[in-house]
A and B are shown apart, each in its own frame.
Chain A
Amino acid sequence: MSIEKGTLQIRNLSKSFTVDGNALQVLNNINLTFPAGSFISIVGSSGCGKTTLLRILLGLETNYEGDALLDGERIEGPGTNRGIVFQDHRLLPWLTVGENVAFGLDKQNRKAKKKIVDEHLKLVGLSGFESAYPAQLSGGMAQRVAIARALANKPEILLLDEPLGALDALTRMHMQKELERLWLLEKITMVMVTHDVDEAIYLSDIVVIMSSRPGIIKQIIKVPFPRPRDRASSEFSHIKAEILKEFHLGTEYPFAYAI
């Protein structure tokens, strides 16, 4: 049986941390399947385990119950088939932009490296910035470099942990467009954690809603609209209402909490 590259399957996944000698259950019995090439958003309140789930997929948390499978193989550690964009851009301040993008490319020779770096800086619209240092970049630019670095390794899936969380609203909407463009271009699976429901609907094929303590999957919502999506359309607000309802922020019981 062959599985298309970039397929993620999560089966009965649970994770707990030991805090002061007590087990803290963070994820409880998560089951999800992400088809190759889809864009998935995970939304949920702070502390519900979104980052932990991404870290498991990335291979930084290896001690978990159940299975997280990439292309049918259990994830046991980091690998170059997965790219990550952390919430903080996490560029190395002592490397130039170009060197940061090349950070994961050790096995190639210099010429091949330079070509990949150039391509990916162009991809994120930062050609000509390769010799700048991260401290010289704006937040949006730094996050683009981080995306270029993650994509330079040609991963099968790209994990994004609130990648646009630190940006102002306008830069953010611009970057959402960019992310969509990159996703359409690269045709890889992208899993993005976000707090922003609009962002999730705008970008995703599937929105996964989590709730906390311990983190469980509350709802999985498919977004079947064509792209690019219109944030002002009625279908958009319809889905948005459906998602917000899951957070008890729907409009059906506007006075429920006021009483």
Chain B
Amino acid sequence: MIKNSLKKLELKDKLLALIVPLLLLAAWQSAVSLELCSPLLLIPPLTLLDTLLYLADSGELTINIIASLNRVLVGFLIGGLSGFLLGLFMGLSPFLDRFAGPLIKASKQVPQFALMPLIILWFGVDELAKYVFIAIGAFYPMVFNTYQGVSTVSKRYRELARVFDYRGARFLTKVILPSAMPSIITGVRHSLGLSWMFVVGAEIFGADTGLGYMMAAARNMFQIDIVMAGLVVIGAIGFSINFILQVIEKRLLVWRFSSDQGASK
């Protein structure tokens, strides 16, 4: 009963969530039909679809998507992993926390896009500079969330571990990490999300492949349709990454999502 009405509610919510996009689409189409703005600045929805299909068909889209995803993967692995390790050690050691914590928090205040000129000076305009830039984006959410998760492991669980003589690696993998996992996964989600934003930023700055490059090049040639197609693809991929991670999260944290199925308290 309750489950059914919950499902209905969810469906209703989903339908409601479609209203605004549909209205926007209608507004967009009428703006074009009524010739409210120049076709050079806004193309009709169907033309956009054509452009998308054309880009997909020509293989151009695939090449650029792969280039961007590649950079995200490398940058995320570097930044996410170092953020994870630093967050872990800071969470485990109050000394390291006092030592490195303030610097990391302070450096977070610098808008990361402002680092771009410096990164270019230091690392050039090649792939390395892009990896570094994306890694910086991936680093912060990972370090903070991991730290948060590890440093707030309940004293009650630490005591239990002591009672059962869990130490070293066993303590880390059986108590600390599982307890911190919800936070860590949140970190991964934000970290990957930012990596995806940063890759586009980096490619707009200067690249010869990637979705950001595709859009920047199209803008130079006033190909508004390709610019808009790029936006749609970037949004869709960002959305999909987040969706996939949410599915993984539900799988990994099944213990958190299972409370409603059993006996009541």
Contacts and interface: CB of A to CB of B under 8 A. Distances in A.
Interface of A: 58-60, 78, 80, 84, 86, 88, 90, 92-96, 103-104, 106, 132-139, 141
Contacts of B181: 94
B259 interface: yes
A192 to B, nearest CB: 17
Given A59-B163, A86-B160, A93-B256, 11 more contacts: A60-B159, A78-B163, A78-B165, A94-B178, A103-B164, A106-B170, A133-B254, A133-B259, A136-B259, A136-B263, A138-B264
Given A136-B258, A137-B263, A138-B263, A92 B160 contact: yes
A88 B154 CA distance: 13
Contacts, number: 62
Nearest to B175: A92
Interface residues of B, number: 24
Contacts of A94: 178-179, 181, 253, 255
B162 to A, nearest CB: 6
Nearest to A140: B263
B262 A93 contact: no
B163 A60 contact: yes
A93 B160 contact: no
24 contacts: A58-B163, A60-B162, A60-B163, A78-B164, A80-B164, A86-B156, A88-B156, A90-B157, A90-B160, A92-B175, A92-B178, A93-B256, A95-B255, A104-B164, A132-B262, A133-B254, A133-B259, A135-B259, A136-B259, A136-B261, A136-B263, A137-B262, A138-B263, A138-B265
Contacts of B163: 58-60, 78, 84, 104
Contacts of A134: 255
**Which 9 A/B pairs are nearest by Cβ-Cβ distance?**
A136-B262, A135-B259, A94-B178, A104-B164, A133-B255, A138-B263, A78-B163, A94-B255, A133-B258
B178 A141 contact: no
Given A60-B159, A103-B164, A106-B170, A93 B255 contact: yes
A135 B179 contact: no
Contacts of B170: 106
Interface in B217-265: 253-256, 258-259, 261-265
Main secondary structure of the interface of B (DSSP, over half): helix
A206 to B, nearest CB: 25
A133 B257 CA distance: 10
B175 to A, nearest CB: 7
Contact of B255 (A106, A135, A139, A141): A135
Contacts of B253: 94
Interface of B: 156-157, 159-160, 162-165, 170, 175, 178-179, 181, 253-256, 258-259, 261-265
Main secondary structure of the interface of A (DSSP, over half): loop
B257 to A, nearest CB: 9
B186 to A, nearest CB: 15
Nearest to A105: B164
Nearest to B178: A94
Nearest to A59: B163
A47 B211 CA distance: 65
A80 B3 CA distance: 45
A93 B254 CA distance: 10
Contacts of A137: 262-263
B258 A135 contact: yes
A95 B161 CA distance: 14
A210 to B, nearest CB: 23
Among B253, B255, B258, B264: residue with most chain A CB under 10 A: B255
Contacts of B264: 138
Contact of A80 (B165, B254, B265): B165
Nearest to B170: A106
Contacts of A84: 163
Nearest to A103: B164
Among A93, A94, A103: residue with most chain B CB under 10 A: A94
A60 B159 CA distance: 8
A104 B259 CA distance: 25
